[in-house]
């Protein structure tokens, strides 16, 4: 697949739905409470992310869309926190209405020693007030003319009622806009008239009354939903089995998923509707849009917690013949997200850094041994200006771009970043390595950054490297050989 997602940039999307905050509390368990037979979680950190329709907004913003939001939150601290998060995404919150009697929906997940042990929900499912109904619909009517696509994210919290959907679809119809909905509940007739509905397999089974056991029963369920609910098209998501697209007048089309390790399915449906909607807004057909959304969902389920897919990740995954450099080379922003996700999974991160101007056997030994010390090896290389400053005139012999390509070809190397020597402390702060490695030709106390690594809870490891070969020796040998000729 060679879909160009640069067309996603600047697409105007209106997100209407149930707004939530997902709170993650991370900690360790080492004892049982004396008060009751329950685990005691020693909290290490807390994290707040946008959930529900808010996660749809987050996904869209990560892919460069221009997003307007319509929904309901409370007036207390969680509502303030949500508006602040939307502000950081530059989302238009003119349609976010605050109701004094309504709490902002918050789902708290307790994760102890890498295991999800408890979830606490704070919410109400009470219908919104008549005044809120009117204010939301005025905002939607104002935004509709400039909107490329409308995404409806229903989590059953009292906003997406049949009268509300009916009014929204009437407004969308007047302007010829497509409405794509992620459903909740058993009665899909409330979504009659939407351009496309995106239930998962379980939801489709319950709503159709057909137990889905195989492709035959899945197709029967999909066709029944199309025939009886009034929805125009259906994208049935099937987890590791991909998706099946049902379009009126066409045979069902299966979009198969690539085999991936699944860590967390939280928010995968939000990613599907976000990417599908952006693809449709960019002019792609439903079948191609579904394929792009399927690829994005495959990326996001490999992350822990409510997560998004970045433009770089999606672009790389969509290339028919991925460039190894593109997949391993990361910016400091990207490596920060990758490291955060690795540590959520309990993975150990190893960092080694240097010029690596000409690779030799000692370097290969360093990388191989470093990789064995953890679950992911990040190789940070000095940029060209830094190498020249460190090594002198005529260096580097090989420019940073080519050094990245060479390092990316090594199986022992998971990620490569380029940095300025003066920014080593910043690099360490971002990565916070469990282990910083260097060759045994260094003394531990002489390793640049060792004090900061240790202060952050990591350690320095010296890798025994045999032989006296160095890049400088190799370069000098080549120069001398050339002069002799």
Map out the domains of the chain as residue ranges: 5-322, 342-484
Could you confirm whether 375 is annotated as catalytic? no
For residue 74, give the DSSP letter.
Answer: -
Is the pTM higher than 0.85? The answer reads no
Output the pLDDT for position 263. Answer: 43
**Of 163, 103, 100, nearest in space to 133 by CA:** 163
Output the pLDDT for position 2. Answer: 53
Output the pLDDT for position 341. Answer: 85
Tally Cβ neighbours within 10 Å of residue 217.
Answer: 14
DSSP element (H, E) containing 5? none
Output the pLDDT for position 322. Answer: 45
Q: From the annotation, which residues make up the binding site? A: 200-203
Output the pLDDT for position 321. Answer: 41
Output the pLDDT for position 259. Answer: 47
- The CATH number for 5-322, chosen from 3.40.1190.20, 3.30.1650.10, 3.40.50.720, 3.20.20.10, is 3.40.1190.20
What is the rounded CA–CA span in Å between residue 218 and residue 222? 6
List the pLDDT tens digit at each of the 485 positions of the chain: 456 788 899 999 999 999 999 999 989 998 999 999 999 999 988 989 999 999 999 999 989 999 999 999 999 999 999 999 999 999 999 999 999 989 999 999 998 877 888 999 999 999 999 999 999 999 999 999 999 999 999 999 999 999 999 999 999 999 999 999 999 999 999 999 999 999 999 999 999 999 999 989 999 999 999 999 999 999 999 887 889 999 988 999 998 876 454 444 556 789 999 999 999 999 999 999 999 999 888 887 766 555 678 777 788 777 644 444 557 888 887 788 889 888 887 889 999 999 998 888 888 999 999 999 999 999 999 988 888 888 888 788 888 888 898 999 899 999 999 988 888 999 999 999 999 999 877 776 778 899 999 999 999 999 887 655 565 666 665 555 555 54
**Of 435, 424, 426, 433, nearest in space to 460 by CA:** 435
Question: Which CATH number is associated with domain 342-484?
Answer: 3.40.50.620
- The answer for residues whose C-beta is within 8 angstroms of residue 170's C-beta and 6 or more apart is none
What is the rounded CA–CA span in Å between residue 455 and residue 471? 31
Q: What is the dihedral of CA 134, 54, 79, 108, to 10 degrees?
A: 130
**Catalytic position from the list 78, 270, 384, 434:** 270
470 touches 384 (CB < 8 A): no
- The answer for residues whose C-beta is within 8 angstroms of residue 356's C-beta and 6 or more apart is 363, 379, 381, 403, 407, 471
Q: Are strands 233-237 and 243-247 parallel, antiparallel or unpaired?
A: antiparallel
Output the pLDDT for position 44. Answer: 87
Q: From the annotation, which residues make up the binding site for ATP? A: 200-203
**Of 86, 58, 81, nearest in space to 337 by CA:** 58
CA 243 vs. chain centroid, Å, equals 19
């Amino acid at each position: 697949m060679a879909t160009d997602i640069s067309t996603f940039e600047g697409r105007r999307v209106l997100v209407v739905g149930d707004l939530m905050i997902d709170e993650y509390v991370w900690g360790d368990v080492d004892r049982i409470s004396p008060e009751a037979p329950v685990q005691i979680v020693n909290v290490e950190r807390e994290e707040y992310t946008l959930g529900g329709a808010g996660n749809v907004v987050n996904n869209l913003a990560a892919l460069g869309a221009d997003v307007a939001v319509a929904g309901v939150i409370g007036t207390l601290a969680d509502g303030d926190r949500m508006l602040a998060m939307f502000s950081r995404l530059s989302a238009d919150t003119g349609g976010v209405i605050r109701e004094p009697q309504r709490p902002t929906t918050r789902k708290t997940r307790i994760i102890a020693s890498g295991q999800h042990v408890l979830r606490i929900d704070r919410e109400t499912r009470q219908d919104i007030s008549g005044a809120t109904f009117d204010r939301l619909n005025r905002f939607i009517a104002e935004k509709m003319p400039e909107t490329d696509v409308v995404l409806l994210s229903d989590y059953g919290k009292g906003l997406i009622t049949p009268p509300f959907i009916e009014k929204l679809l009437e407004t969308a119809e007047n302007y010829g806009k497509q409405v794509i909905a992620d459903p909740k509940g058993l009665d899909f007739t409330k979504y009659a008239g939407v351009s496309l509905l995106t239930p998962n397999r379980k939801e489709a089974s319950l709503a159709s009354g057909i137990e889905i056991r195989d492709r035959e029963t899945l197709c029967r369920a999909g066709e029944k939903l199309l025939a009886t609910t009034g929805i125009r098209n259906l994208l049935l998501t099937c987890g590791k089995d991909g998706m099946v697209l049902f379009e009126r007048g066409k045979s069902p089309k299966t979009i198969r998923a690539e085999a991936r390790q699944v860590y967390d399915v939280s928010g995968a449906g939000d990613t599907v509707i976000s990417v599908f909607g952006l693809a449709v807004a960019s002019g792609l057909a439903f079948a191609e849009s579904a394929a792009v959304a399927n690829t994005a969902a495959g990326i996001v389920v490999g992350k822990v917690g409510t997560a998004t897919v970045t433009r770089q990740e999606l672009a790389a995954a969509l290339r028919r013949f991925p460039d190894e450099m593109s997949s391993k080379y990361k910016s400091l922003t990207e490596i920060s997200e990758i490291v955060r996700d690795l540590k959520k999974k309990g993975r150990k991160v190893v960092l080694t850094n240097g010029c690596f101007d000409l690779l030799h056997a000692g370097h290969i030994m360093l990388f191989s041994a470093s990789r064995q010390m953890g679950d992911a090896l990040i190789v940070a290389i000095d940029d060209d200006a830094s190498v020249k400053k460190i090594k002198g005139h005529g260096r580097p012999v090989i420019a940073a771009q080519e050094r990245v390509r060479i390092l990316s070809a090594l199986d022992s190397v998971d990620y490569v970043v380029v940095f300025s020597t003066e920014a080593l402390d910043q690099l360490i702060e971002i990565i916070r390595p469990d282990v910083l490695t260097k060759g045994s030709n260094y003394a531990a106390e002489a390793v640049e950054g060792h004090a900061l690594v240790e202060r952050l809870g990591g350690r320095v490891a010296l890798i025994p490297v045999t032989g006296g070969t160095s890049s400088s020796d190799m370069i000098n040998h080549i120069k001398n050989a050339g002069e002799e000729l």
